[in-house]
Amino acid sequence: MCIVVSYYKLGDSWYLDLPEYLEQGAASEGDLERIGAFRDFLELASEGKSSVKFQIDNQPSAGADVLELAGFTGGRSGAYYCIKQFREKKVDLELWFNQVIYHFVDMPPEKLYIKELIHSSQ
């Protein structure tokens, strides 16, 4: 599973850019909003820009930071992942990946590897 995901900021809110998820009909734009520590993480990653793009994989790659599974409901509502380091700096965040994660995987992997690709200007 190697995917490229983009996030964009509208006002003070961050969203996963995944229109095909909304096109399935059973989803709402609120499902794509990133809140709490995930929002904080995107603020850190974006460095004041309005978008950020990552490669996320379940296999390690050079320059990628690791997210470790902290828990999930066992249902398909989502999973928590901890990130301890980002861009070689210590962070301590627990990120909630809501049910949208199941658009990409059947079960949340034990580890995800995240690597920033680019971020665009404001």
pLDDT average, residue stretch 16-22: 84
Q: Tens of pLDDT along 103-113? A: 888 889 999 99
- Please choose, from the candidates 103, 101, 96, 88, the residue with its C-alpha nearest in 3D space to the C-alpha of residue 40: 96
- pLDDT tens per residue, range 2-13: 889 999 999 999
Tell me the pLDDT tens digit for each residue of 45-71. Answer: 999 999 999 999 999 999 999 999 999
Query: Among residues 59, 119, 69, which one has the least CA distance to residue 97?
Result: 69
* pLDDT > 90? residue 90: yes
pLDDT at residue 91, as a whole number:
94
Q: Which amino acid does the sequence have at 106?
A: D
Q: How are beta strands 89-98 and 65-72 bridged, if at all?
A: unpaired
What is residue 26's predicted lDDT score, i.e. its pLDDT?
Answer: 66
Q: Is the pLDDT of residue 22 over 80?
A: no
